[in-house]
Amino acid sequence: MSATAPRVTLPRLVPSVVVIGLGPAGPELTTIEAREILNDMGTVLLRTGRHPAAEPLIEDGARTLDHHYENAATFNEAYAGIVEEVVAAAFEHGHTYGTGNPVGAGDDSESASDLRTRGEHRQVPLQHLVLG
């Protein structure tokens, strides 16, 4: 008679979103801490690939969310699509990370506010790490 291996239940990862600032210009101005966090992440979503620091992240497999800007009729519609995609990725991967400007800077402030509101509604915590 063979022994049955004990059943192991792995804890479910809590979906979360972390927004990391890439800095004011190219990758040379992204902080070391921000680069280390980005390098350790499984899922990196970039608000836009047009940020001067985005290219090396895209080369490493980051996905851009530019299609929301290209296909939406308004910025509000684009932000809503970005939020939905980021929150969905958090549920799919257990965690996801969006990179962009710090809160209150540029057009990212509205998408960050939407992320916080919609994420909390769906029990997905949002953290801002203003490292860039």
Band of residue 120 on the pLDDT scale cut at 50, 70, 90: low
Q: Strand order of the sheet with strand 126-129?
A: 63-64, 44-46, 96-100, 17-21, 126-129
- Residue 78 included in any domain: yes
Averaged pLDDT, 121-129: 59
In a domain, 93, yes or no: yes
Closest CA to 49 of 35, 59, 39, 41: 59
CATH of the domain at 93: 3.40.1010.10
The verdict on residue 90 lying in a domain is yes
Q: Please give the single-letter amino acid code of residue 25.
A: A
The shares of helix, strand and coil residues in the chain, as percent rounded to the nearest 5, are: 45, 15, 40
84, two tokens: 């939905």
Q: What is the pTM of this model?
A: 0.73
- In this predicted structure, the answer to whether residue 71 has a pLDDT above a threshold of 90 is yes
Tell me 19's DSSP state.
E
- Residue 123 inside a domain? The answer is yes
Residue predicted with more confidence, 130 or 88: 88
CB proximity list for 117: less than 8 A, separation 6 or greater? none
pLDDT of residue 56: 92
Give residue 103's pLDDT.
41
The pLDDT of residue 104 = 39
Does the pLDDT of residue 109 top 60, yes or no? no
Domain that holds residue 115: 17-129
Structural domain count, the chain: 1
Q: Exposed, middle or buried, 45 (CB in 10 Å: 0-12/13-18/19+)?
A: buried
Per the domain annotation, does 114 fall within a domain?
A: yes
Within a domain: 105: yes
Q: How much is the mean pLDDT over the chain?
A: 75
Assess if residue 23 is contained within a domain.
yes
